[in-house]
Amino acid sequence: MSDNVFHVFSAVLRKDLRRELRSREIFISSFLFSVILLVIIFYASKTSGVQLEAMSSGALWLCILFSGTIGLNRSHQSETANGCYRALILAPVEGGWLYLAKVCSNALLLIVMELLLLPLLVLFYHTDISKNLGMLVTSLALGTIAFTAVGNLVVVITANTRMKDVLFPVVQLPLMVPTLIAAVNATELALQGKTPSNWLQVLVAVNVVFLSAGFLLYDFLLEE
């Protein structure tokens, strides 16, 4: 049993990462989208007189949220387009492990993108990211995992509907609000050099609850 779990888990993870390494379609499109968003956010809020540094945490999380949504949608579409889901259902383990593998691969790709966005944040928004780098990375990682944990569930839920391309972001974004509040504030405090323990606790709790909920519920969603 545990052998099977490990095999399937690593196979799904490897497959997703390898596909991404070969085509880079999700990565390049969501990264470029984030860069454009950073520019747009700057011009959209320029007139309000907000300080650039004060905006950086919110701007960064908007990029993660929007490009992450695009990425999740794309990664799920490529599964259904090639009939991968049918094959995934046949895998000799519980659906929950597939879910965890999908969360892992999506979160990894997003975190790599965030690490590339940080220098851009320094460049565009004059952000000083060195004050508490450890906490910054922790906040980003926890927030990203929470985002993909919920997103991977919602993308399969809305995949059953007629207007899945529209409904996925629309259903997902309200569910992301607590994660977003906690992640933005945690990142903000980390950028100021503080330790955002309250917000990190919220993020850890979101992760624990939704990763276990997803683990248990994924089987119900894969059923034909």
Which residues bind to other proteins, rule: CB under 8 A?
150, 153-154, 157-158, 160-163, 167, 170-171, 174-175, 177-179, 181-182, 185, 198-199, 202, 205-206, 209-210, 213, 217, 220-221, 223
Question: Whole-number minimum distance, CB 119 to other proteins, in Å?
Answer: 29
Question: Whole-number minimum distance, CB 161 to other proteins, in Å?
Answer: 4
Q: Of the two residues 10 and 161, which places its CB atom closer to other proteins in the complex?
A: 161
Q: Of the two residues 17 and 171, which places its CB atom closer to other proteins in the complex?
A: 171
SS (H, E, C) 77-129: HHHHHCCHHHHHHHCCCCHHHHHHHHHHHHHHHHHHHHHHHHHHHHHHHCCCC
Question: Whole-number minimum distance, CB 105 to other proteins, in Å?
Answer: 21
Q: Of the two residues 34 and 179, which places its CB atom closer to other proteins in the complex?
A: 179
Q: Of the two residues 118 and 213, which places its CB atom closer to other proteins in the complex?
A: 213
Crossing angle, helix 2-23 and helix 25-45, to 10 degrees?
70
Question: Whole-number minimum distance, CB 122 to other proteins, in Å?
Answer: 28
Q: Of the two residues 20 and 151, which places its CB atom closer to other proteins in the complex?
A: 151
Helices (H), ranges, the chain: 2-23, 25-45, 52-81, 84-90, 95-125, 133-159, 164-191, 197-222
> Residue 31 in contact with residue 67, Cβ under 8 Å?
yes
Distance CA 116, CA 135 (A): 17
Closest CA to 155 of 209, 217, 75, 63: 75
Question: Whole-number minimum distance, CB 224 to other proteins, in Å?
Answer: 9
Number of Cβ within a 10 Å radius of residue 206 = 21
Q: How far is CA 71 from the centre of its chain?
A: 8
Question: Whole-number minimum distance, CB 182 to other proteins, in Å?
Answer: 6
Q: Of the two residues 40 and 205, which places its CB atom closer to other proteins in the complex?
A: 205
